[in-house]
Structure 1
Amino acid sequence: MSNHTQLVIFDCDGVVIDSEVISANVLIDKLALLGAEIDMAFVQQHFLGCKFATVAQKIEDLLSLTLSPQFELEYREQLLAVFEHQLTLTAGFNKVLAQLTVPYCIATSSSLPRTTKALSVVGLTDVFSGCVFTASEVKRGKPAPDLFLHAAERMGVKPEHCLVIEDSFFGVTAAVAANMPVIHYVGGGHMDPDNQTVLQAFSQVPVLKHWDDFSAIMPALMR
């Protein structure tokens, strides 16, 4: 796949930034105040890779809990406050980014304000300036292919010449639906090594355990 790759599309949360444990804990704590007891495994199975509107609908469907209009705003404010003190890049990401020989962008289910803040905290604002695409820009979020196809179009690259790096089942599903080569990144702090959901559904998708291994998987993309 690397011989034809002209663009790398990174998911953001859990791929570029090690944010999923932080965001899950904030959500778990806020839902607990409303009487809904869930854990990290529940978040990973049902919410990982989804935009907030989808998460809210799943909460209603699975937990019989309708969130108030202010819940999302309060959640985002609390999350961004925690980001200031706890957010980091995933281990080794900066090194890979510095050695890539093709253009790259971000395609994320998170909101633009959250992503903008996160990239600022980890010092990547200028690096991804003008090439951050969010689910708010398309009709259907992941697992639909719309966001990845939108990112490819905006970056001027055909889908088959893109490489997606994703951590979530919904994200990998979206990449496959977009007919884009995809690598499943499992190096984030939120990943459960016993969770084989992606492997069982997409056995053909390569697995990346640490960014240090990226050059071995995709040598043609690295200096």
Structure 2
Amino acid sequence: MVLSPQLVIFDCDGVVIDSEVISANVLIDKLALLGADIDMAFVQQHFLGCQFATVAEKIKHLLSISLPDDFEHQYREQLLIAFEHDLTVTQGVKDVLARLDVPCCIATSSSLARTTKALSVVGLTDVFAGRVFTASDVKHGKPAPDLFLHAANCMGVAPEHCLVIEDSFFGVSAAVAAKMPVIHYVGGGHISVQAHPVATAYPQVPVLTHWNTFARIVPNIMR
């Protein structure tokens, strides 16, 4: 673990914003209309941290469902409506962002439009202005390292001097592949810590259960 990183790279969904339960419920409801019977555990295991194109491929492979052409558009529209009513930040993250003494950015598998809207709803637009990087910026999304490496390059920081905060197996895998120190955040409302694949695959990765303990893990970057 880098005790004094020069850049903190946050995943967005499930790390900065507590959105994964909302997103999963919208997806579960829409897939139910197509005959799929899945639950939150299924979403966490197979879809968490993936860009939508990958989710669509997994739906076809795992559920034998080819999504209608307008499915993604309808899903995103319904999700943004749900965000307006229910979206919050993860508990304590605003305090961490206010106390960070190094630059930070977002690197997310979500679309720029969705991320921009989400940050606006929770009042974090100014915090990450000009420092939001999405899967559309690179050829290969998570679990490939491309997005994190792209974010680091744009921010002018070497990979080994970055610290990634991720909640998903695919996100942690991407950070490991990028050779960046990573913390596994499990404080979101969607996380089931028991038997989480990150703990099995990457037992060396530190776990953060609540933002109020973040300063204990990396004290040298907090005011």
| Partner-residue secondary structure (3-state), 1:56 | helix
| Partner-residue secondary structure (3-state), 2:102 | coil
| Range with greater deviation from structure 2 (186-195 or 13-22) | 186-195
CA distance in 2, matches of 1:139, 1:72: 20
| Range with greater deviation from structure 2 (110-119 or 187-196) | 187-196
Aligned to 2:41: 41
Aligned to 2:148: 148
Are residues 1:205 and 2:205 paired? yes
Native 8 Å contact 2:3 2:219 kept in 1: no
- Please tell me the root mean square deviation across aligned C-alpha atoms, in Å: 0.7
Letter matched to residue 49 of structure 1: G
Using structure 1 for the length normalisation, give the TM-score. 0.99
Native 8 Å contact 2:4 2:220 kept in 1: no
1:132-182 deviations in whole A, cap 9, x for unaligned?
Answer: 000001000000000000000000000000000000000000000000000
Aligned to 2:176: 176
Gaps of 5+ in 2: none
Moved over 4 A (4+): none
1:41-83 deviations in whole A, cap 9, x for unaligned?
Answer: 0000000000000000000000000001100000000000000
The aligned runs of 1:92-111 (5 Å cut-off) are: 92-111=92-111
CA distance in 1, matches of 2:4, 2:158: 10
Native 8 Å contact 2:6 2:103 kept in 1: yes
CA distance in 1, matches of 2:20, 2:39: 13
The aligned runs of 1:75-154 (5 Å cut-off) are: 75-154=75-154
Using structure 2 for the length normalisation, give the TM-score. 0.99
Letter matched to residue 217 of structure 1: I
| Partner-residue secondary structure (3-state), 2:105 | strand
Gaps of 5+ in 1: none
| Partner-residue secondary structure (3-state), 2:215 | helix
What fraction of aligned residue pairs are identical, expressed as a percent? 75
